[in-house]
Homo-oligomer: A and B are copies of this chain.
Amino acid sequence: MRIAFQGEPGAYSEEAAYGYFGPVETTPCETFEDVFAAVTSGACDSGLIPIENSLAGSIHQNYDLLLRHDLHIVGEYFLRVRHCLIGFPGVDVAEVRRVISHPQALGQCAGTLRGLGVKTEPVYDTAGGVKLLKASGERTTAAIASKRAAEIYEMQILREGIEDNPENYTRFLAISPEPVQPAAEAKTSIVFTLRNQPGALFKALSVFALRDIDLTKIESRPLAGKPWEYLFYIDFLGAIGEDTARRALDHLGEYALMLRVLGSYPKNKR
């Protein structure tokens, strides 16, 4: 199997691809759009895209791409983001004077870095920072990135799990040309729009509440260029192959101006 992901080799997305698919071949893509193109063209069997992070929020761009492409969500995966402090082999943490990484990773490790009394310098990418470090040969500099980035560039992990907030999860979605029919506990992701009327969302949610269907995510997003209209993202427990879910979606169709099922897939643990 060949799996497309966005980022440099050693990116957290690649780590998630191995975690979810097992030992597969991975194809690094420069942009999320390239990931969708690789799966649509058949160059890759599936793609793995981040859809939300517990600290940074939902990635709307990937919802846009899901709406623009005819691919299906076939699975989800939660990656616990564990940042590593990475240096040259043989270097001791006490020798480190300067740490480079993506600004978001530096921010998520600010407490640890203050404790070490090091200077920080932002670079464009976590795994890319390890590549830069290796090329520089600077033994008093370290980078923050995934464990896998350290392995790829044959560098040493000086410290593992240096993020200040351990509740740092990214949820990834697996996307494929063909839908799946989840056998066990399933989750379904939908996108819809409503008329701009008082109580419209309340009515829309009633189709789930009246059928005791559990929602696991709800998010509104102002519609581009239409200041008073909204897209809604909802995830609920159940598969569209089941009667209750199908009836709820039929019912929602009576209110929604647009309704699109992005996929039903096996629910994963966080």
Contact of A215 among B102, B165, B201, B214 (CB under 8 A): B201
Q: Which of A190-246 contact B (CB under 8 A)?
A: 198-199, 201-202, 205-206, 208-209, 212, 214-215, 217-222, 224-225, 227
CB distance from A144 to the nearest CB of B (A): 13
A55: B residues at CB distance < 8 A = 60-61, 64
Say yes or no for A59: interface residue by CB 8 A criterion: yes
Closest to A101 in B: B124
CB distance from A100 to the nearest CB of B (A): 9
Closest to A215 in B: B201
Say yes or no for A112: interface residue by CB 8 A criterion: no
- Count chain A residues whose beta carbon lies closer than 8 angstroms to a beta carbon of B: 46
Most buried by B among A54, A57, A199, A202: A57
Q: Are A270 and B125 in contact (CB under 8 A)?
A: no
A205: B residues at CB distance < 8 A = 201-202, 205
Closest to A217 in B: B220
- How many copies of this chain? 2
Say yes or no for A122: interface residue by CB 8 A criterion: yes
Q: Are B220 and A198 in contact (CB under 8 A)?
A: no
Say yes or no for A31: interface residue by CB 8 A criterion: yes
Say yes or no for A28: interface residue by CB 8 A criterion: no
Say yes or no for A110: interface residue by CB 8 A criterion: yes
Closest to A125 in B: B122
Interface residues of A, dominant DSSP:
mixed
Closest to A104 in B: B61
Q: Are B215 and A218 in contact (CB under 8 A)?
A: no
Inter-chain CA distance A206–B205, complex, in Å, is 10
Inter-chain CA distance A124–B224, complex, in Å, is 27
- Taken residue by residue from 99 to 126, chain A's Cβ proximity to chain B (1 for < 8 Å, 0 otherwise) reads as 0001100010010000000000011110
Q: Are B59 and A56 in contact (CB under 8 A)?
A: yes
Q: Are B212 and A199 in contact (CB under 8 A)?
A: yes
Q: What are 24 A-B contacts defined by CB distance under 8 Å?
A: A31-B107, A33-B110, A53-B60, A54-B60, A54-B224, A55-B60, A57-B59, A57-B221, A102-B124, A103-B125, A123-B124, A165-B224, A198-B209, A198-B212, A199-B209, A201-B205, A201-B209, A202-B202, A215-B220, A217-B220, A218-B218, A218-B220, A219-B219, A227-B269
A-B CB proximity, top 8 nearest: A122-B124, A167-B224, A202-B209, A57-B58, A57-B57, A199-B209, A219-B219, A57-B60
